[in-house]
Amino acid sequence: MIIEITITGGIALALGIGLVYASKKFKVKENPKVREVYKVLPGINCGGCGFGGCNDFAAAVVKDHGLVHGCVVGKEETAEKIGKILGIKVSEAEPKIARVRCQGGKNCSDRFDYQGVKRCNAVHTLMDRKECEYGCIGFGDCAESCKFDALHMGKDGYPIVDPEKCVGCGKCVEACPKELIKLQDDRKLVHIACISKDNGKETREKCKRGCIACGVCVKNCPVHTIQIIDNHAVIDADKCINCGTCVRNCPTKAIIMIKKVKNVKKDNKTIND
Amino acid sequence: MENLFIIILSAIFVNNFVLTRFLGLCPFFGVSKKTWPAVSMGLAVTFVMTLASFVTWIVYQYFLVPFNVEFLKIIVFILVIASFVQFVEIIIKRYSEKLYKSLGIYLPLITTNCAVLGVAFLNVDMSYSFIAAIVHGLSAGIGFLLALLLMSGIRERLEYCDVPKSLKGLPVSFIVAFMLALSFTAFNGLLS
């Protein structure tokens, strides 16, 4: 009797002590700022920011200051409060916005007449519907995932972002199986709407708006911020000055300049939609 | 010295813990919707099973057998396994937030996973040596991982199929599991 109790009790005690020690040693240190930010949030866990709840948003905004405008309920007031806690100027925070890196859709030919489930993820799992394997499939999984009504499938079969409504939550980025959507700094207006790794001739055959890696943009860029990587142009957003030279020179119109809505500057020009 | 090769083949194919012995069905159905969490779960279970075999063998041989209290193995094994799963959870939380979030509730569920306790008991029943016990635990985990991998691959594609409304989700998964288990009986003659 005594032996059984001793053995079981002894093992239990040893394990218990071991666990207490482990939990202290491997403790995940929560940034105290997360707690502070959480206190200034509305606390209703509506999920409007695109995150699971106010706690998740607090954790995310401490990591990525660009999300400071993310609370749809609290709006500017909350953004100011969060800015004070994090020590950043709210107007200087780099708000992120979704950029769709493809203008395929109807501009890119189909390989066959697809009759299956009309979801991008389904098509991506099973086959390549479009000639261009890197391009937009066009069934709108991304538009469906957007809770802010900021992403819609355009008339040409690829998604268009509404810059006024997009808060940069990133749900569309996750939804796209081709990883076409990327979050970028809102104030950088130029982006390359093609990530096709096919060479110029192939791209030209497959899609009217694809980047053929001709290099005209590279040659004409005044700040030398464009490069050709993997058969398509890539802009280093940090150095880009939004002059639009590359946009004007691109033969296939693969480079786009976005209309700026937040923090409007006076010499803002729209070249393409 | 038992033939380790036979133990490995047996635990992975002939006596697959999920598809032949029908242990560990809870995480099997719960985590097999997508491949990434399924594989992580499989790896976590493999790790726990190996460690559990290791620790329970030592505890059995040095704490229970010398005092003739082998019957205590039921409680003691559960204690030991539960503590080690808790320990694994602490480690995962500290080193990989993403993995921790994707496993969610299923990590502590490995504690009550009869597959892990099953391995420990089988090691005792078959009187395996120390090395054999660990190898058995490892192979059982690999078999579990294999079953999970197969199931998640099928379930991912099942998402886009026209399943009757009453069978959507878990019911059709059980039917799939039945077919998988049936196909695994083909391994019965492997080691005769």
Query: For the segment A234-273, what is each residue's pLDDT rounded down to a tens digit?
Result: 888 788 888 888 888 888 888 888 775 544 333 333 333 3
Alpha helices in B60-111 (DSSP H): 73-95, 97-103, 106-109
**How would you label B134-164 residue by residue, b for 16+ Cβ within 10 Å and e otherwise?**
bbbbbbbbbbbbbbbebbbebbbebeeeeee
Structure tokens at B66: 């010398």
Q: Is A28 exposed, middle or buried (0-12, 13-18, 19+ CB in 10 A)?
A: exposed
With b meaning 16 or more CB within 10 Å and e meaning fewer, what string describes A183-199?
Answer: bbbbebbbbbbbbbebe
CA-nearest of A133, A76, A125 to A104 is A133
**CA pair distance B143, B159, nearest whole angstrom:** 25
Partner-chain residue, chosen from A11, A18, A27, that has the shortest CB–CB distance to B59: A11
Query: What is the C-alpha radius of gyration for chain A, rounded to an integer number of angstroms?
Result: 24
pLDDT bucket at A94, cuts 50 / 70 / 90 = low
Q: How far does A15 lie from chain B, in Å, by closest CA?
A: 6
* Nearest CB partner across the interface for B90, out of A4, A7, A23: A23
Instruction: Please state, in angstroms and rounded to a whole number, the distance separating the CA atoms of residues A137 and A128.
Output: 8
Q: Which of A2, A8, A125 is the best substitution to test chain B (most B C-beta atoms within 10 A)? A: A8
Cα–Cα nearest to B124, from B41, B49, B53: B53
Sign of the Cα torsion A22, A25, A28, A30 reads positive
Reported as a single tens digit per residue, the pLDDT across B77-95 is 998 888 888 888 888 888 8
- Could you read off the pLDDT of B118-166 as tens digits, one per residue? 999 999 999 999 999 999 999 999 999 999 999 999 998 888 888 899 9
Which residues of A sit within 8 Å Cβ distance of B? Answer: 3-4, 7-8, 11-12, 15-16, 18-19, 22-23, 26-28, 116-117, 119, 122, 125-126
> Does B94 contact A26 at a Cβ distance shorter than 8 Å?
yes
Determine contact, residues B138/B17, Cβ cutoff 8 Å: no
Could you give the C-alpha distances from A97 to A19, A184, B15, B48, B160, in angstroms and in order? 44, 5, 53, 43, 31
Q: Cβ–Cβ of B83/A15 closer than 8 Å?
A: yes
Distance in Å, alpha carbon of A193 to nearest chain B alpha carbon: 29
**Averaged over A37-49, what is the pLDDT?**
78
User: What ipTM was predicted for this assembly?
Assistant: 0.72
Instruction: Say whether pLDDT at A55 is over 50.
Output: yes
